[in-house]
Amino acid sequence: MPPTGPPPFQPSAEHLSSLAAEISTATSRYASSPSTQGLQKVQAATEALQLAATSPTDFLFNQTFQSHVNGCIRIAVGMGIFDNLPQEPGKSVSLPDLALRCNSTEDFVLRIARTLAATHIIESPSRFEYAHSLNSRGVLSQKNVQLSSVYMTDIKVAGLARCGDYFEKFGYKSPDDPKNSPCVFAKGYQDMDFFDMLKEFPTQLTAFNASMAMTAAMGGVIEAVNTYPFDELSEEGKTVLVDVGGGKGQTLAEIKRLHPNIKGKMVLQDLKWVLEEENPVISRDEVEFVPFNFLEEENPVRGQSMSGLRDRIFNMPTLGFPIAYRLR
């Protein structure tokens, strides 16, 4: 007897109508008083309707297929598809011309472009014609966003791709060894922290730095800075603020911009090779640069061990690695 498939998916029309009404209500409120919170409510209501109208089989397929879409975005960045689509709204390029511009073959460009068009990342106004969508023109044509995609796919997604092997080896528990993280394991290394591993991959290191700069540009740093009363730190002649793992100084630069009256010294700490990189966001005239590995050393500013911070970063269930990521 052949296996039976799932039962027909027939969501309640009444339920779908009620969700559609919630979208209308949220949209009307947003129209009368536009705000970020109001737009989020529109998005949440729209997502709820889409979820209710999607069968469990299609939902699972969409989740699984997302890694394929991410891979196509990464390939498109590498071969220059987003750079070679016309920037002018309403303009498109034919498949042969796009393949020529990307120094590739028509069959390969077609495989990537049709996936991007099917998922609304770019547009296909007619058969074998491709154009920027609003999202790709405004976001994916920016170099820092493209580099962020390189970092996320080559490092973070690579770690996820081997997460089964990783947890089979180290046990199904929250990773607690900063020198044997999933990303390091996926790249074939062991007993090496994430940032030392990243130095072995110059392209991905450049992409990582661009990703951090993009986070700052998109307001992530501003949001973090606005949550603390930094003006209260002012104390002439003393160190008032140390940014541990501060990268190129994005956060300190934003703090100084928003709180120009702070008195006292600020310190930027990161690995020596990070501080020696070109184009820091903040200058050595504004803050003190102090090389420091918070995983292995005592903090030279206060002479206190950072092991407690290290343990809190890497042992927090489900949040450990994102917190370590944000420290940069």
Of residues 117 and 279, more confidence is placed in 117
pLDDT at site 94: 97
As a whole number, the mean pLDDT across the chain is: 83
Neighbouring-strand partners of residue 147:
none
Strand 129-132 with 265-270, pairing? unpaired
Which of 263, 268, 270, 256 is closest to 240 using CA atoms? 263
d(CA 228, CA 83): 40
CA atoms within 13 A on the CB side of 60: 4
State the pTM of this model.
Answer: 0.69
Of residues 273 and 67, more confidence is placed in 67
Which of 197, 208, 258 is closest to 233 using CA atoms? 258
Which of 313, 267, 275, 307 is closest to 291 using CA atoms? 275
Residue 141 confidence (pLDDT) above 70? yes
Residue 297 carries which DSSP code? S
pLDDT at site 315: 40
Among 16-20, 66-70, 115-119, 142-146, the least confident range: 142-146
Strand 288-291 with 239-244, pairing? unpaired
pLDDT band at 92 (very low <50, low <70, confident <90, very high): very high
| pLDDT tens digits along 244-294 | 877 778 888 888 888 888 888 888 888 777 787 777 778 888 888 888 776
Which of 256, 153, 277 is closest to 209 using CA atoms? 277
pLDDT band at 161 (very low <50, low <70, confident <90, very high): confident
Q: What backbone torsions phi and psi does residue 163 show, to the nearest 5 degrees?
A: -65, -30
Residue 44 confidence (pLDDT) above 80? yes
Which of 31, 138, 41 is closest to 87 using CA atoms? 138
129, 99 contact by CB (below 8 A):
no
Q: State the DSSP string of 9-65.
A: ----HHHHHHHHHHHHHHHHHHHHS--HHHHHHHHHHHHHHHHHTS-HHHHHHHHHH
Mention every residue, 6+ apart, whose C-beta is less than 8 A from residue 315: 174, 176
pLDDT at site 250: 80
d(CA 264, CA 283): 16
Of residues 14 and 197, more confidence is placed in 14
204, 181 contact by CB (below 8 A):
no
pLDDT at site 306: 43
Distance separating the N- and C-terminal Cα atoms of the chain: 58
Angle of CA points 285, 286, 287, to nearest 5°: 100
Structure tokens at 18: 């009620």
Using alpha carbons, list the distances in angstroms from residue 15 to 52, 55, 313. Answer: 8, 14, 43
d(CA 114, CA 118): 6
d(CA 310, CA 244): 11
Of residues 220 and 23, more confidence is placed in 23
Mean pLDDT of 93-102: 97
Of residues 27 and 225, more confidence is placed in 27
d(CA 177, CA 310): 10
| pLDDT tens digits along 172-223 | 998 888 888 898 999 999 898 888 888 888 888 888 877 776 666 555 566 6
Residue 151 confidence (pLDDT) above 80? yes
Of residues 106 and 247, more confidence is placed in 106
Residue 129 confidence (pLDDT) above 90? yes
Of residues 94 and 7, more confidence is placed in 94
Of residues 82 and 293, more confidence is placed in 82
Using alpha carbons, list the distances in angstroms from residue 304 to 102, 298, 308, 309. Answer: 53, 5, 10, 11
d(CA 252, CA 267): 9
Residue 292 carries which DSSP code? -
| pLDDT tens digits along 295-321 | 665 666 654 444 434 443 444 333 334
For the chain, give the percent of residues with pLDDT over 70. Answer: 84
Mean pLDDT of 75-85: 95
pLDDT at site 23: 97
